[in-house]
Amino acid sequence: MKISKYIPAFLKPDSEGPWDVIGRLIREGWRKYWPGYAVAIFFMIIVAATAGLTVLIIRDVVDEIFIDKNLSELTFLVMAVVVISVVRGVSLYVVAVALERTGNRVIADMQTRLYEHVLKLGITYFDKTHSSLLITGISNRSGAAKSVISTVLTNYVKNLLTVIVLLGVMIATHPWLTFIVVVIGPAALIGVRILVKRIRSFARAEFAGMAQIIARMQETALGIRVVKAFNLEPAMTSKMGEAIEGVRRRRNKIATIKAQTSPLMETLGGFAIAGVILWAGYAAIYHGEKPGDFMAFITAIMLAYEPAKKLANTRVALERNVIGVRFVYEIIDTPVKINPNLDGPELEITEGHIRFENVDFGYRSKKPVLKQFDFEAEPGKLTALVGPSGSGKSTIMNLIERFYDVSGGQVIIDGQDISKVRIASLRDQIAMVGQHTSIFQDTIRENIRYGRPSATDEEVEEAARNAMAYDFITDTSDGFDTMLEEGSSSLSGGQLQRIAIARAMIRDAPIVLLDEATSSLDSESEYQVRVAFERLMSGRTTIVIAHRLSTVLGADTICVLVEGEVVENGTHDELLAADKTYARLYHLQFEQPASQAVEDEEPAVASVG
């Protein structure tokens, strides 16, 4: 697995600086977050002011107490120190709480916004995007927005104000000494700029490496049976080790580069203080000046050192977090290619007549799956789709649900082009059961109720009875309130499938789509569920994909697809009599040796939605 496949476009070396991201964060959020950040900024100003007052008090302490022995000033200065310390401490507390609470709201809003947008994206986006990137985005990278804003406010408000206040005190006490200190600044900025350029590339690679680690973990969890069955533990451990080691090396590089700012600032700061001491010593020895101003000046330098160093580190600290925010914005900015037609007309089902007219469709750059395709599912009848893999059966289901839009032609239901109606109204009229069961991390009751969220408990239980699921559900530890976790190993594949069927039943939709919906059921349950389906399908348009032809022998119409074309259609008897493609498929399935016809009944693993 190459790491480059996990690097989105925004991580390429020509990415812009951090200010476009910071500007967007501020523009989009200031109306919502300004009260919290205004409180933080107000108390940051107080913190900066206390730093200046501390320096002035140091000057008075040295001159008035240690030099002039002024006892009357002692009490005042002591009380002033106490008051300043309390005000500074309270202000720092308020700043920390305000930043944290507002920042947590930024994270929550970013995660909500990201998740809501991801749900709007079409299936095509999920086809080409590794889920590890989405998981990383909503779990970790959304928090980068909080870090970016907090870093900017802390450094460019609190620390910058503190430096400005202390610089003002330094100018007021000794302008020439201030000049000695200020000339050091440009040298520090140049050094930090060089470090920022170096850290940016490592931060990109670190992000991509983390996505790779998550991808490895997902692949292991989802394919654990294959891993163990083929003794792949050493191979998987080796590949995960490579990914972890890569991230470790990059983090070490980042740590090393970040640490280089300390000797840079320490060295330059040492030159500044040495110059001040040299000048102060000369003035005290040869001109008899009081040491108060010099002590205040040195104190101001010492107090300004930490905030100045943090200011110098701001770009370094921002780079890693800005990359995370860019990633989140890349997802949020991904255009929704399937138009939901929120203001469009409602799909009105009168009969449930489905028709494909001259439909063209292909997945991304692949050759067309359907070309000038015509198809019809008569209302209230069962239409079966059979044929070899890749013939277009699942594509027909996907286009009816509008998981993808056709590139030519129309899909029409009761005379209405489904691309023109409100997409939610289309999907409200369809109940779908896929070959692979999707079970959500929730109770059995809620997993069924997802079919129709307004359903009552009684309706949920009735749907379970019709799907032949009621008995095994009540035998579980908590009945309908039993939690289904990832993998749901406590239930067999057939049981999970029946829960999915109950979910479709409770939807009570006029159109039913079944993708080999009985594939995981034993013979007895399959028969009973088929009886329930007959009640469900009465008066409804049903389309079923069948690999096992025994499940569609009684279909009203069987359509045989080969390479995106309907090569035959008719009833089972008619197609057998024609002795063409369907007849060959039928004889292959029903005339093979019994030992080959036995199907594996091992429970399937459900994917958690």
Concatenating the DSSP letter of every residue in 40-69 gives: HHHHHHHHHHHHHHHHHHHHHIIIIIIIT-
Q: Given the structure tokens 């690999």, which residue do they identify? A: 547
**How is residue 120 written in tokens?**
């709007």
Residues 448 and 300 both lie in one domain? no
Q: How many CB atoms lie within 10 A of CB 239?
A: 16
Give the whole-angstrom CA distance, residue 139 versus residue 440.
19
Q: Residue 6: which of 286, 190, 246, 214 has the closest Cα? A: 214
Position 554, amino acid: G
How far is 119 from 112, CA to CA, in rounded Å?
11
- H or E element at residue 511: strand 511-515
Q: 539 to each of 79, 380, 411, 502, 542, how far by Cα in Å? A: 88, 4, 21, 18, 9
326-331: average pLDDT:
84
pTM, 2 dp: 0.72
The last residue of a domain, from among 302, 332, 362: 332
Cα separation, 302 vs 49, whole angstroms: 16
The answer to the question of residue 486 being in a domain is yes
Verify that 217 and 105 share a domain, yes or no. yes
Spatial CB neighbours of 244, under 8 Å, sequence gap ≥ 6: 213
Please list, in sequence order, all residues whose beta carbon lies within 8 angstroms of the beta carbon of residue 366, skipping any fewer than 6 positions away.
none
- As a whole number, the mean pLDDT across the chain is 78
Let me know whether 298 and 422 are in one domain.
no
Identify the pLDDT of residue 493.
72
Q: Is residue 475 part of a domain?
A: yes
Angle at 564 between CA 558 and CA 568, to 5 degrees: 30
Q: Has residue 524 got a pLDDT over 80?
A: no
Same domain flag for 486 and 404: yes
Alpha carbons 237 and 243: distance in angstroms, whole number:
10
* Predicted pLDDT of residue 64: 67
Residue 249 sits in which domain range? 6-332
Tokens 């140091």 belong to 58
Is the domain of 375 the same as that of 292?
no
Contact 60, 72 (CB under 8 A): no
Write the CATH number for 390.
3.40.50.300
Q: Mean pLDDT over residues 386-397, rounded?
A: 88
Do 293 and 369 fall into the same domain?
Answer: no
448 and 588 in a common domain: yes
> Is 320 in the same domain as 402?
no
**Looking at the 3D structure of the chain, how many domains does it have?**
2
Higher pLDDT, 318 or 315: 318
Give the whole-angstrom CA distance, residue 426 versus residue 431: 11
Neighbours of 534 (CB within 10 A): 12
Q: Residue range 207-227: average pLDDT?
A: 71
Rounded Cα–Cα distance for residues 30 and 152 (Å): 14
Q: How confident is the model at residue 543, as a pLDDT?
A: 92
Same structural domain for residues 363 and 223? no
Phi, psi torsion values for 119, nearest 5 degrees: -65, -25
Q: What's the confidence (pLDDT) of residue 445?
A: 93
Backbone angles phi, psi at 433, to 5 degrees: -125, 120
Going by their DSSP bridges, the two strands 511-515 and 541-545 should be labelled as parallel
Residue 530 near residue 537 (C-beta atoms within 8 A): no
Which of 272, 301, 332 lies at the terminal end of a domain, its last residue?
332
pLDDT greater than 90 at residue 54: no
Picking from 313-317, 319-323, 431-435, which range would have the lowest pLDDT averaged per residue? 313-317
Point out the domain boundary residue: 267, 301, 332. Answer: 332
For residues 391 and 400, the answer to whether their CB atoms sit within 8 Å is no
Of 11-15, 22-26, 274-278, 493-497, the least confident: 11-15
Helix residue ranges per DSSP H, 121-232: 123-128, 131-136, 143-153, 160-173, 175-182, 184-222, 224-229
CA pair distance 500, 464, nearest whole angstrom: 10
Contact status, residue 341 vs residue 423, Cβ threshold 8 Å: yes
Residue 599 in any domain: the answer is no
CATH number, residue 113: 1.20.1560.10
Give tens-digit pLDDT for 104-152.
Answer: 888 888 888 888 888 888 888 887 777 777 777 777 667 788 888 888 8
Length, in residues, of the chain: 609
How far is CA 488 from its chain centroid?
A: 24
How far is 400 from 76, CA to CA, in rounded Å? 83
Question: Is residue 598, in this structure, part of any structural domain at all?
Answer: no
Percent of the chain with pLDDT over 70: 74
Indicate if 321 and 422 belong to the same structural domain: no
Question: 328 and 412: one domain?
Answer: no
Lowest-confidence region among 97-106, 256-265, 348-357, 448-457? 256-265
**Do 309 and 379 reside in the same domain of the chain?**
no
Instruction: Answer yes or no: is 1 within a domain.
Output: no
| DSSP conformation class of 606 | B
pLDDT tens-digit readout, 334-354: 888 888 888 889 999 988 999
Sign of CA dihedral 268, 270, 271, 277: positive
Q: Report d(CA 353, CA 347) in Å as an integer.
A: 12
Residue 437, in any domain of the structure: yes
Bridging pattern class, strands 370-377 and 354-361: antiparallel
Maximum Cα–Cα distance across the chain:
121
Pairwise CA distance, residues 570 & 584, whole Å: 15
Mean pLDDT of 33-37: 86
Quick one: DSSP state of residue 363? S
Cβ neighbors of 575 (< 8 A, separation 6 or more) are 558, 560, 568, 569, 582, 583, 586
| Rounded Cα–Cα distance for residues 370 and 561 (Å) | 11
The predicted pLDDT at position 212 comes to 74
Residue 83's contacts (CB-CB under 8 Å, 6 or more residues apart) are none
Give the per-residue pLDDT at 1.
Answer: 38
Q: Is residue 340 one of the residues assigned to a domain?
A: no
Q: Where are the alpha helices (DSSP H) in 260-354?
A: 261-287, 292-312, 314-332
DSSP state of 18: T
Spatial separation of the C-alpha atoms in residues 470 and 115, rounded to whole Å: 34
| Domain presence at residue 339 | no
User: Cβ(603)–Cβ(494) under 8 Å?
Assistant: yes
